[in-house]
Amino acid sequence: MNSEHVIPDTILQILDSARWCPSPDNLQSWKFKIISETSFEIHCRDESDWMVYDLNGHVSWLTIGLLFETIDISAKQHGFNTRYEKRPNGDDQQLTIFLVTLTADEITSQHPLFNAIKTRSVQRKLMGSKPLSEREKLAFEQCLPTGFELTWFESSSEKKKIGKLLYGNSHTRYVMKEGYDVHSKIIDFRKGYETFSPTKIPPKSLGVDPITQALTKWAMKSWSRFHFVEKYLFGTVWAKFRLDYLTAIKCSGHFLLTKTETDKSLDDFIETGRVVMRLWLTAETLGLGCQPEYTPIMFAEFQREGINFSTDARALQNASTMDEQFKGLVGEEKVRTCAFLARIGRSSAPTSRSVRKELSDLLIG
Ligand SMILES: Cc1cc2nc3c(=O)[nH]c(=O)nc-3n(C[C@H](O)[C@H](O)[C@H](O)COP(=O)(O)O)c2cc1C
């Protein structure tokens, strides 16, 4: 690629692919500002002011890494390299701004992960559990830079342990009002958005039957109703069994990504996020389904940092019990290095998924 100039159309094409980057609950907490023919800014907002799962902003930082990697892959596909520079954010503590500069690459070639950007989608349904082949595992290993490691949990007893852990973590999420305040906002129960939602999670992508969907919608109308159903009618037992325990069993296996040296800085999370994106896109190119299982990592971090994430004593007590289970699974000394957990399995593409905001809605002047 000899051209020194990036036609603005190219930036738009790069961003149009990049907007398919996944974000927690499809929040897409970013905006893009085109600065010149060769540069644009990314304005990333963390959700720490309302989302209990992002109290320390770390999941947002991790997601910036996923976005950087998606932008890089799209830029390379168009013959450009990227450079990122953090910019001042004024007084807004929840905002992180980066300047991205594009430079022409000497070699233009198809990026092997580019086509997976738009087709990749979280798979929350039960998956086929045929074990991964050595070739498939090698493809995942090849995504890792020095300092990262993958541990696989594939035996039936390991899958059951992870299922129990996820079931227990969901119990923490359902008993606390702080969890309800998030869940009641992120599922798109609006008419017409049950299968594809541009800003939230469509209910059909959760992988539960229509009756459970309808009951969930009804129960989520108010905290008092949800709390009553959860506490006195055991109304979340089926959801936890179906969405957490069974899915953990019905897959090929779970991978735990660990990072040996970790200082929990913004750069640290971004580096991890980049690896996560490569792993997820690699799963897609191999025709495998993938679902992040982030809550054990997040709650373990809250425990270590002494973050008081709920006013509900049951939630705090249960999170502490689950943390012990998590340590039992991965080992006491390894728990600090845990960066990401996900399940992988054999599946066809989801028939319901989150789609995205239009690029025009993500551009700022
Ligand atoms: C950092 C991160 C953590 C996530 N954690 C979970 C999770 O614990 N469980 C889950 O079902 N989905 C999880 N997701 C998936 C998102 O909800 C999903 O990617 C988003 O709604 C967009 O949908 P799509 O992947 O189908 O495009 C996570 C995504 C990201 C980026």
Cα 207 to Cα 270: distance, rounded to the nearest angstrom: 30
Q: Tell whether 336 is covered by a domain.
A: yes
Q: Tell whether 362 is covered by a domain.
A: no
Neighbours of 188 (CB within 10 A): 22
Clarify whether residues 156 and 113 are in a common domain.
no
**Which pLDDT value is given to residue 2?**
44
Cα–ligand 1 centroid distance for 38 (angstroms): 31
* pLDDT(102) > 90: yes
Residue after which a domain boundary falls, among 119, 147, 181: 119
Total number of domains constituting the chain: 2
Q: Tell whether 289 is covered by a domain.
A: yes
Helix 313-330 vs helix 156-175: crossing angle, to nearest 10: 160
Residue 85's CATH number: 3.40.109.10
Q: Tell whether 26 is covered by a domain.
A: yes
Cα–ligand 1 centroid distance for 294 (angstroms): 9
Clarify whether residues 167 and 247 are in a common domain.
yes
Clarify whether residues 112 and 170 are in a common domain.
no
Q: Which of 304, 353, 332, 364 is nearest to 58 (CA)?
A: 304
Which residue, judged by its Cα, is nearest atom 12 of ligand 1? 292
Within a 13 Å sphere around the CA of 77, how many CA atoms are in the beta-carbon half? 21
Task: Give per-residue burial for 24-49: e unless 16+ CB within 10 Å, then b.
Answer: bbbbbbbbbeeeeebbbbbbbbbbbe
Please give the sequence-ordered ranges of beta strands (E in DSSP) within the chain, or none if there are none.
30-36, 39-45, 80-87, 95-104, 148-153, 196-197, 253-259, 288-292, 338-346, 353-354
Which residue, judged by its Cα, is nearest atom 24 of ligand 1? 121
Clarify whether residues 175 and 320 are in a common domain.
yes
Q: Tell whether 126 is covered by a domain.
A: no
**Which pLDDT value is given to residue 6?**
66
Question: By residue range, what is the domain housing residue 332?
Answer: 134-354
The answer to whether the CB of 113 falls within 8 A of the CB of 282 is yes
Clarify whether residues 208 and 283 are in a common domain.
yes
Ligand 1 atom with least separation from CA of 205? 26
The answer to whether the CB of 4 falls within 8 A of the CB of 104 is yes
Clarify whether residues 106 and 230 are in a common domain.
no
pLDDT in tens, 285-324: 999 999 999 999 999 999 999 999 999 999 999 999 999 9
Q: Which of 290, 299, 305 is nearest to 321 (CA)?
A: 299
Q: Tell whether 218 is covered by a domain.
A: yes
Cα 216 to Cα 223: distance, rounded to the nearest angstrom: 12
Cα–ligand 1 centroid distance for 22 (angstroms): 6
pLDDT in tens, 164-177: 999 999 999 999 99
Clarify whether residues 144 and 230 are in a common domain.
yes
Residue 225's CATH number: 3.40.109
**Which pLDDT value is given to residue 4?**
54
Cα 25 to Cα 45: distance, rounded to the nearest angstrom: 14
Residues 178-201 have a mean pLDDT of 97
Ligand 1 atom with least separation from CA of 124? 11
Which amino acid is located at 244 in the chain? D
Rounded to two decimals, the pTM is: 0.96
**Which pLDDT value is given to residue 208?**
86
**Which pLDDT value is given to residue 1?**
46
Clarify whether residues 194 and 296 are in a common domain.
yes
Computed over every residue of the chain, the mean pLDDT equals 95
Neighbours of 251 (CB within 10 A): 27
Clarify whether residues 97 and 156 are in a common domain.
no
Cα–ligand 1 centroid distance for 354 (angstroms): 10
Cα–ligand 1 centroid distance for 32 (angstroms): 21
Ligand 1 atom with least separation from CA of 294? 8
Order of strands across the sheet that contains 288-292: 148-153, 253-259, 338-346, 288-292
**Which pLDDT value is given to residue 354?**
98
Residue after which a domain boundary falls, among 119, 142, 162: 119
The answer to whether the CB of 266 falls within 8 A of the CB of 96 is yes
Q: Which of 198, 179, 199 is nearest to 54 (CA)?
A: 179
**Which pLDDT value is given to residue 14?**
97
Q: Tell whether 360 is covered by a domain.
A: no
Residues having CB closer than 6 A to ligand 1 are 22-26, 59, 62-63, 66, 121-122, 124, 201, 291-295, 353-354
Cα–ligand 1 centroid distance for 213 (angstroms): 19
Clarify whether residues 99 and 143 are in a common domain.
no
Residue after which a domain boundary falls, among 89, 119, 149: 119
The answer to whether the CB of 333 falls within 8 A of the CB of 172 is no
pLDDT in tens, 244-285: 999 999 999 999 999 999 899 999 999 999 999 999 999 999
**Which pLDDT value is given to residue 302?**
95
Cα–ligand 1 centroid distance for 266 (angstroms): 20
Which residue, judged by its Cα, is nearest atom 27 of ligand 1? 121
Radius of gyration of the chain (CA): 20
Q: Tell whether 129 is covered by a domain.
A: no
Clarify whether residues 196 and 323 are in a common domain.
yes
Torsions phi, psi of 213, nearest 5? -60, -45
Q: Which of helix, strand or coil describes residue 251?
A: coil
Clarify whether residues 283 and 148 are in a common domain.
yes
